[in-house]
Amino acid sequence: MAVIPVNLAGRSYKVRVGGGLLADLPAQCGKLLRKDCVPVVTDTNVAKHWRETIETALLAGGHEPHWLVLDPGESAKSWRGLERVVDWLLGEEVERGDHVVALGGGVIGDLVGFAAAILKRGCGFIQLPTTLLAQVDSSVGGKTAINTGAGKNLVGAFHQPALVLADLDTLTTLPARELRAGYAEVIKYGVLGDAEFFTWCERNGPQVLAGDRALQEYAVTESVRTKARVVAEDEREITGARALLNLGHTFGHALEAETGFSDRLLHGEAVALGIVLAARYSARREYISEQDAERGADAIADAGPPNEIAALGMDADGRKLAAHMLHDKKMDAGTLPFVLLAAIGQAFLDRNVALDDVASFLDGELQAR
Ligand SMILES: NC(=O)c1ccc[n+]([C@@H]2O[C@H](COP(=O)([O-])OP(=O)(O)OC[C@H]3O[C@@H](n4cnc5c(N)ncnc54)[C@H](O)[C@@H]3O)[C@@H](O)[C@H]2O)c1
């Protein structure tokens, strides 16, 4: 098992990565579970595979699990979903010093984390991420949010978990498409800041996705290490270091918005395409070579997520896609900073990107290569 500290003044915590962590939940959580009753929020897909493991572990540890099981999917991250979780936690008489358990992917983690942030002005929570995306990204760093009619993740809070247990066993029940989508976030860490890790991803992607446990542990651990370092440096995305983790997200968000935030394009798949587009747009601006941009695209293709937007069959042109970017929450005084590449492994924030140019670039990309 690997243990990665997230060092934040007064709010430090550990991320543990390994197998068998859920089956050992009481010992892993120790004093964080200070009462008999343990509130656990999850979704029906995750409950189907992992409820029994947690139930058995908690009962054996002398605890009584109380469950709130939600419908799966992005729609749970809504005002209604938030109200449901908060009301349930209030009914459970959760106190500020208690810890709510979030068992699931990024949807459950973001929703429960936000509920914990506002419940009685903030109670504790523990992240048990069960998707690759949640293990390498969303469970670490304390960004919590829900979606509203105006857009995704527009209402939320920074609220750090007290502990993250990334149990690699949970990846065995994750649908292959979700695993591939999550792997795009792993590749992202290489592309944005670690050329050596990117080369590792190029070599080992297929085996990671085929379920090689040692390689999965390395992929998750290295990703979490990078995220923890960046979060410790720039927790609230003020200096710009954390903003680099948004590589691929501005393009990706536009594609998610155009496809209606639906199963047509999963979040990780949108990020995968977004990384490809950010790399190719960096080549268009002559920051990197075409060859390097295509290395990024090939690594994504080898791991399986889509890497050509033409294949999405969207009824949109570049201007329409660029218009979605105006609603990006990273808009800053009328400009939208883009994370672009100076090299593979070297991302930077470009605040001088003209959306007209992005639109014409996207028009080119929408024609099949
Ligand atoms: N807070 C952050 O920093 C951050 C970062 C990235 C993404 N996100 C958010 O994360 C969300 C996407 O997360 P996600 O990709 O994990 O999606 P998700 O939570 O919807 O999970 C994907 C699907 O897999 C199922 N599932 C989860 N674990 C499973 C398992 N072990 N076995 C079988 N099925 C399982 C879920 O029920 C769901 O159907 C988005 O809302 C995105 O905005 C947040």
pLDDT in tens, 221-230: 999 999 999 9
For ligand 1, whether the C-beta of 45 sits within 6 Å is yes
Tokens of 149: 């009619």
pLDDT at 369: 58
C-alpha atoms less than 13 angstroms from C-alpha of 77 in its C-beta half-sphere: 24
Residue 28 Cα to chain centre, angstroms: 23
For ligand 1, whether the C-beta of 229 sits within 6 Å is no
For ligand 1, whether the C-beta of 250 sits within 6 Å is no
Q: Which residue has the tokens 């009462």?
A: 35
Q: For residues 158 and 145, what is the distance between their CA atoms, to the nearest angstrom?
A: 9
Q: For residues 18 and 22, what is the distance between their CA atoms, to the nearest angstrom?
A: 10
Residue type, 72: P
The pTM of the full predicted model, rounded to 2 decimals, is 0.96
Annotated active-site residue 227? The verdict is: yes
Alpha helix ranges (H) inside 61-92:
79-91
- Asked whether the beta carbons of 240 and 234 are under 8 A apart, the reply is yes
Segment 201-215 shows an average pLDDT of: 96
CA distances in angstroms from 324 to 14, 42, 188, 250, 329, listed in the order given:
37, 31, 22, 9, 11
The residues, any chain, with a CB within 8 Å of residue 200's CB and separated by 6 or more, are: 190, 218, 222
Segment 153-179 shows an average pLDDT of: 97
pLDDT digits (tens, 9 = 90+) for 21-62: 999 999 999 999 999 999 999 999 999 999 999 999 999 999
pLDDT at 331: 79
pLDDT at 301: 86
Segment 148-160 shows an average pLDDT of: 92
For ligand 1, whether the C-beta of 138 sits within 6 Å is yes
The protein residue whose alpha carbon is closest to atom 18 in ligand 1 is: 105
pLDDT digits (tens, 9 = 90+) for 177-200: 999 999 999 999 999 999 999 999
Centre a 10 Å sphere on the Cβ of residue 192 and count the other Cβ atoms it contains. Answer: 25
Segment 77-88 shows an average pLDDT of: 98
Annotated active-site residue 99? The verdict is: no
The residues, any chain, with a CB within 8 Å of residue 351's CB and separated by 6 or more, are: 332, 335, 337
Segment 318-323 shows an average pLDDT of: 95
Q: For residues 33 and 208, what is the distance between their CA atoms, to the nearest angstrom?
A: 33
The protein residue whose alpha carbon is closest to atom 25 in ligand 1 is: 45
Calculate what percentage of the chain has a pLDDT beyond 70.
Answer: 99
For ligand 1, whether the C-beta of 180 sits within 6 Å is no
Going by pLDDT thresholds of 50, 70 and 90, the confidence category of residue 142 is very high
The protein residue whose alpha carbon is closest to atom 30 in ligand 1 is: 174
CA of 181 to the centre of ligand 1 (A): 10
Going by pLDDT thresholds of 50, 70 and 90, the confidence category of residue 313 is confident
pLDDT at 334: 76
Residue 274 Cα to chain centre, angstroms: 14
Tokens of 76: 């749970």
pLDDT digits (tens, 9 = 90+) for 87-110: 999 999 999 999 999 999 999 999
Computed on alpha carbons and rounded to an integer, the radius of gyration of the chain in Å comes to 20
Phi/psi for 299 (5° steps) reads -60, -40
For ligand 1, whether the C-beta of 81 sits within 6 Å is no
Q: For a substitution probing ligand 1, which of 45, 220, 234 has the most ligand atoms within 8 Å of its CB?
A: 45
Pairing of β 99-104 and β 37-43: parallel
Annotated active-site residue 121? The verdict is: yes
Alpha helix ranges (H) inside 131-212:
132-133, 176-193, 195-210
